[in-house]
Structure 1
Amino acid sequence: MYEPVDISVIFSLVLVVGVIFTLSKMVRIVPQGEEWVIERLGKYSKILLPGLSLLIPIVDSVAYKIITKELIQQTRDQEVITKDNAVVIISAVVFYRVTDPGKASYSISNFEKAVANMTTTTLRAVIGGMTLNESLSQRDQIKAQVAEKIRDSLTGWGLTLGNLEVQDIRPSDNLQEAMERQAAADRDREATILIADGDRQASIAKAQGQKEATILEAQGRLAAAKLEAQAKVELADGDRKAMLIVNQGLASGEMAPNYLLAQRYIDGVKELSESDNSKVVFMPADWQKSLAGVVGSLGYLGSAISDKE
């Protein structure tokens, strides 16, 4: 035979369980870095801040648990067509935090997905207005434009933009291959230009050297001509002095006639010996007497010049 269960014991157990359940629903501890959105009878009521809070069981309920720490949203790699119809692959990282949990909960269904989509579409718009070279070299400008465009939308969703960084931006594989070929062609062209410029500089230097050599040679010939002219002037001056002496000799009846004959004799023999057609030089039979007369005349001339000086 089973003994009847005491109803008071069962009531006590139910009461204890009800109290525990009620306390669990009424007493809430919100951890640091979170804020909870409370609904009362299905309608937004208040925000629970970190710490201990009391709720009315059954009437109040926790609708959303919002993380207020800075969140990181990374966009996937996407292909974007630039202004000059080049394809680039770009991705970005967005840092933001929830500053208004109420707006973040009720103004949009999924703010994390919204941030990712907003960043992706804005990147497409900004890159589409730039050329390939601009998109690859102006990361700071891209970051500033995208951040400016998405900041207002995030504020309307109860979010605050912390920072935005362009994580990666690169040409597509086909475009990168074409750019490498173009870079190689440009290097070859620059090398050809450098070689041609070097040859031109060498030709200029060679021509300059030849010019300077020609000038020096002409200056040398000019100096030689001046020296030759000076020698001729001095020789003519000597002949003039000799003729003065001859004239004086003729006037005094001395040996001037012999000197003139000797001079003519020497000139004639010299011209005969220097002629290209002359193969044989004829000497007079009395060349010894003639030479003696020449020597005597030259001696007289030398003494006369010394007396004049």
Structure 2
Amino acid sequence: MEFMLVLLVIGVLLIISASVRIIPEYQRAIVFRLGRALSQPKGPGIIFLIPGVDRVEARVSTRVVTMDIDPQDVITRDNISLKVNAVVYFKVVDSMRAIINVENYLYATAQLSQTHLRSVLGEHSLDELLAEREKINLHLQRILDQNTDSWGIKVVAVEVKHVDLPPDQQRAMARQAEAERERRAKVIAAEGELQAAQTLRSAADLLSNNYTALQLRYLQTMADMSTSNNAKTIFFPLPIDLLEAFQNMRPKKE
């Protein structure tokens, strides 16, 4: 009698263990009953199964998945060969479709991302790829999201991480950047010379039109030369009126 009671207790415990599952908050359980999927995924929390009839086919995570895309060989629109890798952020929004409509949604999403990464980047030139990366990321995200919608997957973001340029292209870009820096330096120097010339011309016009200012400048020059450390320089002040007399003696152009 006691042996039968022990067997009964063990049988009840086995039935309970086979019929009860605990699903975490970030997962959903896809349950098949006699080979047919139930209408809705189970969980989170405690779920009850019919032993021998119900079977948990899969547990699907509803968290955002971060997937690295291996470096892909890409030929840009201007015929430059590159190696580009990216990262895709996505999550499952319909657990039932992610299990029923595709065999392995992780593998399928990775392959789809690789294919579209090569095709989309091949439509752009190297300059566009380097300068308009945010725009390209949004384009990739929209394309992948449309293609994975039937799998119950939402692509949150796509980021092109690294663009590996060939060595000859790196040298060419370095020479281009150096030439651009030299061009900017020459433009800045030319602008500085132009501003200095304009300032000197304004000062000359001011002095030529103002006799008092011209005399003050003359006296200032005399003072600067008299305080010079060069002892061999001898300065003889010349009245500015005398210079003006010589200037008036010049023949006037008809």
- Regarding TM over 0.5, the answer is yes
Is 1:148 aligned to residue 135 of structure 2? no
Partner residue of 2:81 out of 87, 90, 94: 87
8 Å contact from structure 1 (residues 73, 115) kept in 2? no
Q: Secondary structure at the match of 1:48?
A: coil
Counterpart for residue 133 of structure 2: 139
Deviation at 1:146, TM superposition (A): 0.6
SS in 2 for 1:180: helix
Structure (1 or 2) with the larger CA radius of gyration: 1
1:111 counterpart (90, 105, 124): 105
Q: Any conservation in 2 of the 1:33–1:67 contact (CA below 8 Å)?
A: yes
Aligned length in residues: 206
CA distance in 1, matches of 2:142, 2:82: 22
Structure 2 distance, partners of 1:128, 1:220, is: 79
Q: Secondary structure at the match of 1:47?
A: coil
SS of residue matched to 2:41: strand
| Secondary structure, counterpart of 2:66 in structure 1 | strand
Q: Which has the higher contact order (CA 8 A, sep 6+)?
A: 2
Letter in 2 for 1:14: L
- Provide the secondary structure at the position in 2 that maps to 1:29: strand
**Identical-pair percentage:** 30
The answer for the alignment partner of 1:102 in structure 2 is: 96
- After TM superposition, give the deviation of residue 134 of structure 1 in Å: 0.8
Question: Where do 1:51-66 residues align within 5 Å?
Answer: 51-66=45-60
Q: Which residue of 2 aligns with 1:32?
A: 25
* Cα contact 1:89–1:170 (8 A) shared by 2: yes
The alignment's TM-score, normalised by the length of structure 1, stands at 0.58
Q: Over residues 273-303 of structure 1, what are the superposed CA-to-partner deviations in whole Å (9 max), with x where a residue is unaligned?
A: xxxxxxxxxxxxxxxxxxxxxxxxxxxxxxx
SS at match of 1:84: coil
- 1:221-267 per-position Cα deviation (integer Å, ceiling 9, x unaligned): 225x99xxxxxxxxxxxxxxxxxxxxxxxxxxxxxxxxxxxxxxxxx
1:68–1:97 CA contact under 8 A, matched in 2 = yes
- SS of equivalent to 2:73: strand
Structure 2 regions of 5+ residues with no counterpart? 202-245
What secondary structure is seen at the aligned counterpart in 1 of 2:17?
helix
- On the 8 A contact 2:62/2:92 being kept in 1, the answer is yes
Is the 1:87–1:175 contact (alpha carbons within 8 Å) kept by the matching residues of 2? no
Give me the whole-angstrom Cα distance separating, in 1, the residues matched to 2:29 and 2:167.
Answer: 47
2:91/2:153 contact within 8 Å kept: yes
* 1:48 lines up with 2:77 in the alignment: no
Q: After superposition, where does 1:1-16 map in structure 2 within 5 Å?
A: 8-16=1-9
- Distance in 1, Cα, partners of 2:248 & 2:79: 67
Cα distance in 1, alignment partners of residues 248 and 7 from structure 2: 131
Structure 1 segments of 4+ aligned residues over 6 angstroms from their partners: 191-198
Equivalent pair of 2:138/2:157 in contact (CA under 8 Å): no
Q: Per-residue deviation at 1:193? A: 6.6
Q: CA deviation at 1:113?
A: 1.6
Higher helix share: 1
Shift of 1:9: 4.5
In structure 1, stretches of 5+ residues that fail to align are 1-7, 209-216, 227-309
Are residue 21 (structure 1) and residue 3 (structure 2) matched?
A: no
d(CA) in 2 for partners of 1:35, 1:195: 64
Instruction: Indicate the residue corresponding to 2:153 in structure 1.
Output: 159
TM-score if structure 2 supplies the norm length? 0.69
Mapping of 1:97-246 within 5 angstroms? 97-184=91-178, 190=183, 220-222=249-251
CA separation in 1, counterparts of 2:91 and 2:133?
23
**Structure 1 pair 14/172, CA: closer, same or farther in 2 (3 Å)?**
farther
Distance in 1 between residues matched to 2:249 and 2:115, nearest whole Å: 83
Residue pair 2:30, 2:96 contacting (<8 A) in 1 also: yes
How far off is 1:98 after superposition?
A: 0.8
- 1:68-93 per-position Cα deviation (integer Å, ceiling 9, x unaligned): 11111121222211001112232222
Contact 1:32 1:51 in 2 (8 A): yes
Q: Does 1:72 align with 2:66?
A: yes
